[in-house]
Structure 1
Amino acid sequence: MSVLSQVCRHTLRSRLLLAKTFAASSVVPRTREVTTTTVAHDHASHFKIERYWAAGMLPIFPAAYFIHGPYMDAALTIALTLHIHWGLFAVMQDYARPILIGESAAKAACASVYVISILLLAGLLHFNYNDVGLTRAFELVFSL
């Protein structure tokens, strides 16, 4: 018998022994229960929604140049406000972390993003209903 065949037999025998050991251990019932944790925020799907929203905004801008009216003004206002809110909130999450500026300052920064977004929405809606509207304003700016 050659040395190579002895090594092969030894390797095969040890693998079979390991396989039997692992097969026997899988029969033993678990003594501990497995608990699953739920994630409060799904950042991956939120990022996808932001990208789809940004891609969906692309046809709104050329359409807003040709279509004027309260519905287009409202669509443009909502799209811009939500897009700006997500952008500001992402900046605050990156640069205003509690470990960097403290817990209370981070909460204040997060609250300021919501205040800015609400004020932006209120200002744009006020401009749309009490003035010429966003689409007509852009047309007037580009006609200069």
Structure 2
Amino acid sequence: MAALTGLPVLCRRGFKPLLNTSFLLRPLLASRRASEPPLALASQFHVSHQHSAGSRAASLHWTSERVVSIALLGLLPAAYFCPGAIVDYSLAASLTLHSHWGFGQICTDYVHGDTQLKLAKAGISILSTVTFAGLCYFNYHDVGICKAVAMLWSL
């Protein structure tokens, strides 16, 4: 009741004093008995386990993922306007790396168990290596990625 008595006085001063933390917490602290344990006004709740990295490896990995994604945005128009060997090999490397990181995140999120996760990651590494080797072979011995896509569009 004492808090309600002071409310008209605060309302005359404007809305801002109503949000003052001491005004909001004073009734809670006054109603607490001395025998009760102190109130936990702020608690932290974490759903997943927090990993503390000893280095900046995670930050650099995240940054490199974003750099490759942005590079792909520039490589796709470059492949259309000026096809060539440099663009072909750049596409082979960036597409393979982008898909490798994407499949790795899918495995991390959806594959459970240490053994299954290690097998899935090994499978992704093998698949990425074979994909990159196949794209490089295609670029060297055939028309290349850019010309192949142009030939598909001309059908």
TM class by shorter chain equals 0.5 to 0.7
Worse-superposed segment, 37-46 or 49-58: 37-46
Q: Which of 21, 38, 50 is the aligned partner of 2:65?
A: 50
Structure 2 counterpart SS, 1:39: coil
Equivalent residue, structure 2, for 1:136: 147
CA distance in 2, matches of 1:108, 1:41: 27
% identical equivalent positions: 36
Q: Which of 101, 121, 133 is the aligned partner of 1:86?
A: 101
Post-superposition Cα deviations, 1:9-53, rounded to whole Å, max 9, x if no partner, equal: xxxxxxxxxxxxxxxxxxxxxxxxxxxx86267434322321222
Q: Which runs of 5+ in 1 are unaligned?
A: 1-36
CA distance in 1, matches of 2:137, 2:129: 12
- Structure-2-length-normalised TM-score: 0.61
Equivalent residue, structure 1, for 2:11: none
Q: Which runs of 5+ in 2 are unaligned?
A: 1-51
Equivalent residue, structure 1, for 2:17: none
TM superposition shift of 1:104: 1.7
CA distance in 2, matches of 1:133, 1:106: 34
Q: Which of 116, 132, 146 is the aligned partner of 1:105?
A: 116
Post-superposition Cα deviations, 1:54-77, rounded to whole Å, max 9, x if no partner, equal: 012101101101212211111111
CA distance in 1, matches of 2:122, 2:84: 33
CA distance in 1, matches of 2:135, 2:53: 38
Paired residue total: 104
- Structure-1-length-normalised TM-score: 0.66
Q: How does 1:1-144 map to 2 (within 5 A)?
A: 39=54, 42-98=57-113, 103-144=114-155
Runs of 4+, deviation exceeding 4 Å = none
What is the letter of the counterpart of residue 65 of structure 1? Y
Cα distance change, pair 77–49 in 1 and its aligned pair in 2 (3 A)? same
